[in-house]
Amino acid sequence: MKKMLRIFILLLLLLGTCDVQAQENWVNDARKLFLNNNAIIYEINIRTFNAKDNNNNGIIEFELGEESGSFINAIERLDELKKMGVNMIHVLPITQTGKTKALGTAGSLYAAVSFNKINEQLKDKTSVLELNEQVKKFVNEAHERGIRVIIDLPACGAYDLYLQRPELFVKDNDNSPVIPADWMDVRLLDAGNEDIINTDVFGVYKEFVDLAIDELGVDGIRADVAHCKPAKFWRALISYSREKDAQFLWLAESSDSWHDAVSLRGVFTPYDKLLQAGFDGYYGSFFNLKEWSTSQELINHIMFNTGLKTKFYEPKSVIGSFATHDELSPLLVKGVPYSSMIIWLNTTLPINAYYLDGFASGDNYVYPWANQKALITYTDDDYYFAHRGKIDIFNFSRKPQGDNEELLQEFIVANNFRASISKMLSDGKFIPLKSDCTPVFAYALTDGEDTVIIYGNLDFEKPVKATIRVPGLQKDAVFIPIKAILEPVCYNSKIAVDLKAGEIVVLKIKNFSVK
């Protein structure tokens, strides 16, 4: 028996050594990958990522032996992500969630109780590893597959944290903590202003950075609602992280189309000031695609964002935020064609592709139990609070997953194609093309040798015909269809196209460069 125990302990030590070795061999290149427009980012909620909903009713019932997502069972899906072409994971908040004045039966991921402790809900109780070690094992396993890991930094604190440390929060005239926007389960942190930052809040966030880099070994941070803190705050925090890891990636949840603070008592820092403070990128307003009806609206936004690369003293890039956890499922917006268009725009634009867990297989994020009274709750909310058509971040719910195999295969093909044109996306030239039909957009990517031509119909109700001008194109040009139903009819310097409602086409031409 003692001999078996010694062998078991030796195996644990060896496993621990392997994990350390894997971490030591990993060289973080997340920032470089992102700034070269070569990141394919996949957003996941560990609490649901690989949840085991055995009876398929959409909710995890622990009393029936069902299992929510954990860092250990999440490892099972990493090969799947690699096969899909994903090279970076954005993990939604992993900090402890609030239980008081909560939303949902598990608590919102963004209602943080602590910024230096991992959410116990994400622990695999059958593992011999401590929770932080489980997180690190997940990160190491991702690294072994060439997948970088960035984690979410919540913008606000749970009411539970306010009760523990009221000095961290903004107060109103009655000395009560401020509720930002309509987020009833959180309170606004007081980060200070451009004259002086709140050292207490800065210290809390500094602890988060220490946890992320020193203990977990992740590759970057996505800062939730980054514009609600002053640039001075971020400049100091980002500089602190870069002293530890020069390649540590910082992404700001902010947009050029956002102009208002989350509270009258809060600060608002515009996207450009955040980029100047050290953020490597931000959310482009691509989520407005659903509202754009003219090609010029799309092209103007692309040109605006591609101009960021040289606008600041350091290179910057942008996140292709067409569909995030804050957005309605594309299937509920404009159906499968809209999802397909998002895939191929993310694939062929000189930005960083970004997808939400479940998107690729066509999840509509509609939960039959949503907003109904719960039989069991783990917070003071006894309702399954949820946003219809958006991934659940409030309850122990099912794995995000649709049943559209065709869309999934298209997603994989697109990501493989994106990898094949990585140099074109990082160093090539983006060229808008003129169309004689208002809803038809067109553009080209070229590296001086080969060219990819992309065009699509922003009208998701009617088919259209259009003529697109492609300078220098000869009528005998040979197109390689990447995503196409019909090839265009080619004239000298023009192509005639016939598009279905919401259709997007991707063609490659070898040995041709747009003049």
Q: Which of 426, 454, 486 is the last residue of a domain?
A: 426
Examine the domain organization and report whether 421 and 454 are in the same domain.
no
Contact 487, 479 (CB under 8 A): yes
User: Residue 448's pLDDT is what?
Assistant: 87
Q: 244 in a domain, yes or no?
A: yes
What residue has token string 């398929």?
56
Helix (H) or strand (E) holding 15: helix 2-25
The rounded mean pLDDT for the chain is 93
Q: Give the domain extent around 457.
A: 429-509
Per-residue model confidence (pLDDT) at position 12: 40
Distance in angstroms (rounded) separating the CA atoms of residues 166 and 190: 10
Mean pLDDT, range 374-386, rounded to an integer: 96
Does residue 383 lie in a domain region? yes
C-alpha closest to that of 408 among 160, 86, 58:
86
Q: What average pLDDT score do residues 402-420 get?
A: 97
CA-closest candidate to residue 248, choices 272, 208, 213: 213
Does residue 13 have a pLDDT over 80? no
- For position 10, what pLDDT does the model report? 41
- Pairing mode, if any, of strands 440-446 and 352-356? unpaired
DSSP string, 42-64: EEE-HHHHT-B-TT-SSB--GGG
| Residues near 325 by beta carbon (within 8 Å), at least 6 away in sequence | 43, 45, 92, 356, 390, 391, 393
Dump pLDDT digits (tens) for 284-329: 899 999 999 999 999 999 999 888 777 888 899 999 999 999 999 9
At 373, which amino acid appears?
A: K
- 148-206: pLDDT as tens digits: 999 999 999 999 999 999 999 999 999 999 999 889 999 999 999 999 999 999 999 99
377 shares its domain with 502: no
Distance CA 35, CA 251 (A): 11
Summarize the confidence of residues 66-72 as an average pLDDT. 97
444-457, pLDDT tens digit by residue? 999 989 999 999 99
Domain end, chosen from 365, 393, 426, is at: 426
DSSP category for residue 264: T
Tokens 């070795």 correspond to 21
Q: Are residues 313 and 438 in the same domain?
A: no
Of 92, 91, 88, 90, the residue nearest 40 (C-alpha)? 88
Q: What local confidence, expressed as pLDDT, does residue 9 receive?
A: 41
Can you give the pLDDT at residue 14? 42
Cα–Cα distance for residue pair 460/19, rounded to 1 Å: 49
Instruction: Give me the helix-helix angle, 2-25 and 131-144, nearest 10°.
Output: 50
Residue 179, token pair as written in the block: 């509720």
Residue 448, helix vs strand vs coil: coil
How far apart CA 468 and CA 488 sit, in angstroms, is 10
| Strands (DSSP E) found in 159-267 | 186-187, 220-223, 249-252
Q: 109-137, pLDDT tens digit by residue?
A: 999 999 999 999 999 999 999 999 999 99
415 and 435 housed in the same domain: no
| One domain for residues 470 and 388 | no
Residue 119 confidence (pLDDT): 97
Q: Answer whether 84's CB lies under 8 Å from 347's CB.
A: no
Distance CA(189)–CA(198), nearest Å, equals 10
User: Model confidence at 503, in pLDDT bands (50, 70, 90)?
Assistant: very high
Q: Decide if 390 contacts 330 (C-beta within 8 A).
A: no
At 495, the pLDDT band (50, 70, 90 cuts) reads very high
Whether 321 is covered by a domain: the verdict is yes
Which conformational region is residue 132 in: left (phi greater than 0), alpha (psi within -120 to 50 degrees), or beta? alpha
Q: With 70 as the cut, is the pLDDT of residue 230 above it?
A: yes
> Which residues make Cβ contacts (< 8 Å) with residue 20, sequence separation at least 6?
none
Quote the distance between the C-alpha of residue 317 and its chain's center: 14
Q: Is residue 49 in some structural domain?
A: yes
Residue 15: the pLDDT is 43
In a domain, 515, yes or no: no
Distance CA 404, CA 307 (A): 36
One domain, residues 420 and 493 = no
Domain stops at, among 426, 449, 478: 426
Q: Which two tokens stand for residue 133?
A: 């070690």
Q: Which residues are paired to 511 by β-bridges?
A: none
Task: Provide CB contacts within 8 A for 225, sequence distance 6+.
Answer: 155, 156, 180, 253, 254, 262
d(CA 45, CA 395): 11
Instruction: Tell me the pLDDT band of 7, cut-offs 50, 70 and 90.
Output: very low
197, β-bridge pairs: 192
CA angle 128, 132, 133 (to 5 degrees): 45
How many structural domains compose the chain? Answer: 2
d(CA 501, CA 462): 5
| Same domain flag for 415 and 304 | yes
Structure tokens at 298: 């799309």
Phi, psi of 451, rounded to the nearest 5 degrees: -135, 140
Residue 182, pLDDT score: 86
Q: How many other C-beta atoms are found inside a 10 Å radius of the C-beta of residue 326?
A: 14
Are 412 and 498 within one domain?
no
The CATH number that applies at residue 453 is 2.60.40.1180
Are both 210 and 323 inside the same structural domain? Answer: yes
- Domain annotation covers residue 191: yes
Is 52 part of any domain?
A: yes
pLDDT classification of 24: cutoffs 50, 70, 90 = low
Residue 246 shares a structural domain with residue 366: yes
Angstrom distance (rounded) from CA 246 to CA 495: 47
Residue 338 and residue 228 share a domain: yes
Q: Dig out the tokens for 355 from the structure.
A: 């997808």
Indicate whether 16 belongs to any domain: yes
Same-domain check for residues 9 and 146: yes
> Which pLDDT score, from 0 to 100, does residue 79 have?
98
> What CATH number does residue 392 fall under?
3.20.20.80
Half-sphere exposure of 504 (CA within 13 A, CB side): 24
Tokens of 291: 């509202």
